[in-house]
Amino acid sequence: MKFLVSQFSYFLSDRQAKRNLSALRTYVLFLLAIVFLYSVLFHFVMLLEDQEHSWLTGFYWTLTVMSTLGFGDITFHTDIGRLFSILVLGSGVVLLLIMLPFAFIRFFYAPWLEAQIRARAPRKLPPNICDHVIICRQDSITNGLIRKLTVNKIPYCLLEPDPVIAVQLREDGFSVVTGEIDDPETYEAVNVESARLLLANAEDPINTNILLTARSLNSSLPIIAIAEEEDSLDIFSMSGATYPLPLKIRLGEHLATRVSAGVGTAHEVGRFKDLVIVEFLVHDTPLAGETLRNTHVRERTGMNVVGIWESGHLQPVDPDKPLAETCVPVAIGTEEQVKKLNELLGEGPDNPHEVLVIGGGKVGRSTAVTLKKRGVHVRILDLKPELQEELKPYCDEVIIGNAADRATVERAGIANVSAVALTTNDDAQNIHLAVYCRRLQPQLSIVSRITRERNIEAIYRAGADFVLSYASLGCEFITAYLLGREPVMVGEGAEFFTIDVPVVLHDTVLAESGIGSKTGLVVIAIEHDGETVTNPPATTLLKPSARLIMLGTNSQRELFAELFA
């Protein structure tokens, strides 16, 4: 009963509900007026037929005819009476049987159901929730970030202004609170004073308001603000952001790293404490066609090959499988060991010398600038003629035209470039261009951005060699900040996991644990008693209170949980 009263109170306090009730009341009054009018006319027509009835009978006849019940106990015998009956019957069908139910559902029943849903929307966190992450809205980053927070056992709270959507999210298993993202009361309701991090991931002007609002309630709260425009970085810093994150610029920089992975040179893709994570091409190196066991990479350089990219997928290391020229091994080691690896590869000139960037947006410009800094000749191909002059500072040459047109891409020099970077913000367009470029130049190196994770497999099938998604990059940067480490983007699907040593592996030597051989996960570090041992030797003993820091895919992690739970 108390819940019903609260729902009714919420319903009556809503402005739209008040307007709906007013409209319903107006219609009901109009309908009653029509019934009264017909009841009066009923008596006049009956007098023409020399019949007399009570006023109650008049209302009774009007309602039975309008509702199509038609008992037939009171009838007219003249054409005028029958014509009046037809008028009452027709208007009754429209006003009483069609319009009234529609008006009732539209102005009362549907809003009442919505009010019930809205009344169930969570409006505050329990007071005991602390050290949590506040996410200001749901976007392309949210789902992946929440998965990572859950894996790392970090509580979170997602803000949703619409109570109906908030209820749906809660039913889907999300921790959500409804409230406006620029309202101080919302942040008080989600315990901002004891939060671990606030993620401002709305539009730039709204993010500025969020920063000022949250900072007024908690002066020491770490805040990550995702910036759409580079000019917003300074504004965010002045508004209280701890870490302004220009995600599209970072995406372009990481794409450029993949593009510029030249023959004979290992290129850094991330760091973990004192370890450097690198990728290198096998093409035209002494490793091509050899098995990893025969190359003796670990013995000669100290580098640990932890995975091999093949056709866009990170495969576990098979020491007896020949290294194809198209594969890209991923290795971990120190800076000194990276130098030794470069010597083994026969460190040569940094290729490619020419790169075609398709798409002159923020990501494309960032990709081009990063490549130019490394001495690579860059061309940008874009569809919009008005960007001709604007793009010139970012590259060596600007080509205007449709990238799906063969004459245009030939004019852009696709026959001469060694790599193509697809940076448009349209996933379907990038997939289409990946197929097109691959057919024009089968040996071309193609890297692409992607916005939605569901399109990653599709663009790999289309022919892309490397793919980086906006969502995955954002998740990695935010998670790395939370865990106090450098962000590492080995590639789509590969990430770091931190897991307590399972009970079944207590006091087991790492080489005998079967972690790598059974799951494909690579143990890159072990934490114990506040100390971290990176690149641990195979003889390391897995102690009960230790934590494993591993690199692999989600499916490999699930297999680990299944085997060692």
pLDDT profile of the chain (565 residues), mean per 10:
54 72 89 94 91 91 91 89 93 91 86 76 90 94 89 91 90 92 94 96 95 94 94 94 94 82 66 81 80 87 82 75 82 88 69 82 93 89 92 93 90 89 92 91 87 83 86 89 81 75 89 84 83 81 87 80 83
- Evaluate whether 377 touches 354 at the Cβ level (below 8 Å): yes
Q: Which residues in 96-214 belong to E strands, given as ranges?
A: 133-135, 156-160, 176-178, 197-200
Q: Is 526 helix (H, G, I), strand (E, B) or coil?
A: strand
What lies within 8 Å, CB to CB, of 94 at 6+ separation is none
Q: What is the CATH number of domain 494-564?
A: 3.30.70.1450
Provide Rg for the chain, Cα atoms: 34
CATH hierarchy code of domain 133-245: 3.40.50.720
Q: What is the pLDDT of residue 8?
A: 59
Q: How many residues belong to the chain?
A: 565
Q: State residue 349's pLDDT score.
A: 47
Tell me the CA distances in angstroms from 72 to 62, 68, 552, one per residue in order. Answer: 12, 11, 81
* Same fold: 2-120 with 354-471: no
Q: What would the two tokens of residue 432 be?
A: 């289409």
Pair type for strands 547-553 and 494-500: antiparallel
**Where in the chain are the domains?**
2-120, 133-245, 263-345, 354-471, 494-564
Token readout for 142 is 């949210």
Contact predicate 180/106, CB 8 Å: no
- How far is residue 395 from each of residues 25, 258, 419, 514, measured CA to CA in Å? 67, 18, 15, 49
- H-run or E-run covering 292: helix 292-295
State whether the Cα torsion 306-309-310-312 is positive or negative: positive
Please report, as a single letter, which amino acid is at residue 551.
Answer: L
Please write down the long-range contacts of 104-111, taking CB distance under 8 Å and 24 or more positions apart: 104/24, 106/20, 107/20, 107/21, 107/23, 107/24, 107/27, 108/20, 108/21, 108/24, 111/11, 111/14, 111/16, 111/17, 111/20
**Tokens read off for 303:** 């580098």
Q: Which amino acid is at 139?
A: D
Amino acid residing at 399: I
Task: Count Cβ neighbours within 10 Å for each residue of 420-448 and write b for 16 or more, e otherwise.
Answer: bbbbbbebebbbbbbebbbeebeebbbbb
The CATH fold of domain 2-120 = Helix Hairpins (1.10.287)
Quick one: CATH architecture of 354-471? 3-Layer(aba) Sandwich (3.40)
Per CATH, which fold does 263-345 belong to?
Answer: Alpha-Beta Plaits (3.30.70)
